[in-house]
Amino acid sequence: MKRVLLTGMSGTGKSTVIGELAARGYKAVDTDTDEWSEWVAFTPIPGVKEAPFEPDKEWVWREERIETLLDTEDAAVLFVSGCASNMRRFYERFDQIILLSAPADVLVERLATRTSNRYGKHPDELARVLGHLETVEPLLRRVAGHEVDTSVPLEQVVAAVLRLVRP
């Protein structure tokens, strides 16, 4: 089974892309849910200075569940989307890491208008996301084998992801 991580900043379209892949019949898991992630005591990321979304807490992957997911061999391809400080523990388990990215103005518009998630609407949250463009996104870019610009229509983004994953 090929395991593919789709990662990126809030507002890049990870949930939208993973939803479209699932609709097309792929095994596709969005880790930004209570099933796959949880709030824990905040542990700063080396080199990244920020206040957590929840005071003294951060949203991280439920490692045991992610382990089980990655151990399960029940599909030709598994797509996993998410961005959490502890996901780096799993990088070696993925065959591909694809960074989804978009310009800051696109992220601002998406966060302001999305209805599936309230995160990013408060000015402090928006400032955090924009700060992550400068601090976290470069770290993700270093580990990603590919980058896909999600400012184009969804069909083009999914086509680009599938081209990268197919042998």
pTM for this model (two decimals): 0.90
Tokens representing residue 66 in the block: 């992610």
Confidence check: pLDDT of 55 > 70: no
**Domains identified in the chain and CATH numbers:** 2-165 (3.40.50.300)
Cβ–Cβ < 8 Å for 109, 26: no
The H or E element containing residue 123 is: helix 123-135
Reported as a single tens digit per residue, the pLDDT across 105-129 is 999 999 989 888 777 788 888 888 8
- Tell me the Cα Rg of the chain: 15
Going from the C-alpha of 76 to that of each of 2, 155, 160, 161, 163, the distances in angstroms are 6, 21, 18, 15, 15
Note the pLDDT of residue 52.
46
